[in-house]
Structure 1
Amino acid sequence: MALAIDSTVRFFSGNHIYRLGFGVYKIANENTKAAVLEALRTGYRHIDAAALYENEGGISEAIQASGIPRSEIFLTTKIATAGHSYDSAIREIDDSLQRLQVDYVDLYLIHEPLGGAATRMAIWKALITAKKAGKIKDIGVSNYNIKHLEEIQDSGLELPVLNQIELHPLDQQRPIVKWCDEHDIKVSAHCPLIRGRFNIPVLQELAQKYKKDPAQVLIRWSLQKGYIPLPKSSRAERIRSNVNVYDFNLSDAEMESLDKLDKGTDGAISWNPINAD
């Protein structure tokens, strides 16, 4: 599979997203500028943010300091559902743009399916309004299960272009991925590096075979599955290492050996609110 750090995939809207993203979860705001700057220097052009991470300001500083045109950077951020109505979601979108110091974001997600159907749909309508106003290019969701996606479908409103879920060999969320594939919704993988829990024999064997580290094997698995992985790190050497995944290719048999690690939701290693009412 021919892939490179600038490889993209097309949304059904016609817009494109870079296949590899840089996550900033749990990077303190004062460290975010340096981390994002290093990521941009390394070749990343896709930054995945969220209001809950409380570091949108650091991302803004990095983008401005990088000298890279805004149009060349794909920027995602997210709104949490807690306490929001349609009107407050509109205000939060504006606040997020202000913190990021941009006129628009490329992708805006509902962070999680909490708060009930009425809250979710009110926020979704706010995202549609902001998209029509040119503040957002595309809209999507995160941590949504099939029932939450069907909720949008049944409303007759536009579907999300992307669903960001916990996704790695231990927790492959196959029914959600299948539903998204059937509806041309791209799937983005958070926690692709299983938070460093690399003591898995097959993973170690593949890393040794290809002279890679386990994190690189996991990113390669995610890319070859067609996902959009979002590895994160605040360490410069790890940021650079995580893009060194384009000079090897896992065979079908090796991909299958990693697929067999799936434990369903029992394999989740993070917050995974897919079963919210």
Structure 2
Amino acid sequence: MTKMRTLANQSDPSHDEQLAELSDGNARGGVQSIEVGASLLAVLAHADAGLSLTALASATGMPASKAHRYLTSFVRAGIIERDAASGLFDPGPLARALGLAALRRQDTVLEAASVMEALRDELEENVVLSVWDEGAPAMIRVEEHSRAFSIKVRIGARLPLLTSAQGQIFAAWLPPALTRIHIARELQDNSDALRRIGVRSETDLAKLLAKIRRDGVATLVGGIVEGISGTTAPVFRYPGTLAAAMTVLTIGKCSPQLQRTIQTALKAAAAELSERLGAPIPPKTSEG
């Protein structure tokens, strides 16, 4: 009889629905204690150094005795570890392995898609993503807004280093060993485009790149196409190296108010993508 009831339960549609609910990430059948304990891990993940039991309990609003029980289990599982001398808690070997596994599975372009789409819709402007490709920035993704001007971007097209907003970002943040030869070549050309942005020497360029690092963005009008303005922000990945440059394209020179709006939204989008790619905040910069 017991066996018959078990078989009946297995074939009961309501039983199948319950199993389906348990597989849903938002299901009521989740383990609440794990969700509570995860708040301790979230605090630890965003800390710059190891934290004490008191600090963790305070940050989560959890009684110290309760926090201690969670932390003890996490230490046993290898999710966190506790320094024997200081008593401070840090991410453990399992947490580090999970983090590295997540980073290995990341793809900059795939991660950028939703961020770029949201930025495009917020500003109602075209958004372009560029990466460093054998000595030059290359455009690899474009999100066009239906109300913005039409732009013909050839995926893979390479841009100049000093006279494009994208290139200036790479010149500002990439290690000098990667850009020195290319910068020297463009400076030697002494093009009209360089003169228009006031760069006639290495000293001029150093001042420009220092300003870009301070501002966190590069803005250039007519650098590539006459009448088109590009505002570009850096995107970083773990462990703080430059991964890409995200650009908002507009027609003509923007008003100061519109430029501030674009910069604020662009920097927030670039920071969101950087966080997805595991970059520390603030990211490392490369002076040179």
Instruction: Give the number of the structure whose residues are more often helix, by fraction.
Output: 2
User: Which structure would you say has the larger Rg?
Assistant: 2
Higher relative contact order (CA 8 A, sep 6+): 1
